[in-house]
């Protein structure tokens, strides 16, 4: 049995988009393979120690909660970047967490929130809220295309740096900005996305991809090929969400 160590950043503040449900998916899918999830809450007074955690999770919050944690999180930018970029830890950041993992977010009322600078992106609030079911095409591994279904609800317009990698291409929905056709961002084993609603119960393959990356960090080897699970309910949830997204009739 391998213990997968998860650092859950600011769970008391960034927790409005089924974030604890995503953690529960990690725990259950790890347990079914004989592994254990050890989750540590990393709050305002807790340091980030590179090498200590295999997977980091940053959830979603509204502008008020983001303002409360932004300065504190930015102060931990260097150890978090070292943990992910130098030590190859996995990371999932959702919605508000995604925005703060870029270089910064300017809120609807002009609030400038500093970012970590881990993801090559900047975000500025727009006038129109982008909300609804969304469907992506992703290729996290060469030659392996998958669809990702979820729900988006954000006013942020996120712009990726030229040449950087999105999480996926938008099939239906708005994505990062409603214009580029991209959604989310990816750097190595780190993923940022606006998709929630919740994300992982509808997309078991993404949960398993992140678990495999976390196991690789834990063991110092290559990401293992995880034993398939009976995912009939997960597949049905994904199909329903994907069909709702397709029924929107395009990105705009």
User: Where in 13-120 does DSSP place strands (E)?
Assistant: 36-42, 55-58, 90-94, 104-106, 112-114
Residues 6+ apart with CB under 8 A from 99: 66, 105, 113, 115, 123, 156, 158
C-alpha 140 chain-centroid distance:
13
| Whole-Å CA distances, 46 to 52, 58, 102, 213 | 12, 14, 21, 24
| Contact (CB, 8 A) for 57 and 15 | no
Distance, in Å, from the CA atom of 173 to the CA atom of 182, rounded to the nearest integer, reads 10
35 counts as catalytic: no
Distance, in Å, from the CA atom of 146 to the CA atom of 204, rounded to the nearest integer, reads 11
Q: Which residues pair with 186 in a beta bridge?
A: 165, 191
Per annotation, catalytic residue among 53, 196, 217, 238: 196
Residues 6+ apart with CB under 8 A from 220: none
Q: Is the dihedral angle over the CA atoms 134, 137, 139, 145 positive or is it negative?
A: positive
Nearest to 164 by CA among 172, 152, 176: 176
Show the 3-state SS of 82-108. Answer: HHHHHCCCEEEEECHHHHHHCCEEECC
Per annotation, catalytic residue among 8, 35, 53, 95: 95
196 counts as catalytic: yes
For the annotated catalytic residues, the residue numbers are 95, 196
């Amino acid at each position: 049995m391998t213990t997968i160590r998860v650092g859950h950043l600011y769970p008391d503040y960034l927790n409005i988009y089924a974030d604890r449900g995503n953690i529960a998916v990690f725990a259950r899918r790890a347990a079914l393979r004989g592994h254990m999830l050890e989750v540590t809450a990393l709050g305002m007074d807790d340091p980030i120690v590179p090498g200590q955690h295999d997977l980091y999770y940053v959830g979603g919050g509204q502008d008020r909660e983001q303002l409360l944690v932004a300065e504190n999180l930015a102060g931990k930018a260097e150890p978090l970047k070292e943990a992910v970029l130098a030590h190859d830890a996995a990371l999932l950041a959702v919605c508000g967490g995604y925005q703060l993992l870029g270089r910064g977010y300017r809120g609807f009322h002009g609030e400038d929130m500093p970012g970590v600078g881990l993801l090559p992106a900047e975000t500025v609030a727009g006038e129109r809220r982008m909300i609804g079911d969304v469907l992506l095409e992703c290729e996290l591994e060469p030659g392996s295309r998958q669809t990702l279904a979820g729900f988006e609800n954000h006013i942020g317009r996120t712009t990726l740096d030229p040449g950087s990698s999105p999480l996926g291409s938008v099939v239906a929905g708005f994505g990062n900005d409603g214009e580029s056709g991209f959604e989310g961002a990816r750097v190595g084993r780190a993923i940022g996305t606006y998709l929630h609603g919740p994300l992982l119960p509808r997309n078991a393959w993404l949960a398993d991809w992140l678990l495999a990356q976390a196991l690789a960090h834990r063991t110092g080897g290559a990401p293992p090929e995880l034993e398939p699970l009976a995912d009939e309910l997960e597949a049905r949830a994904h199909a329903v969400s994907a069909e709702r997204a397709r029924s929107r009739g395009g990105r705009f």
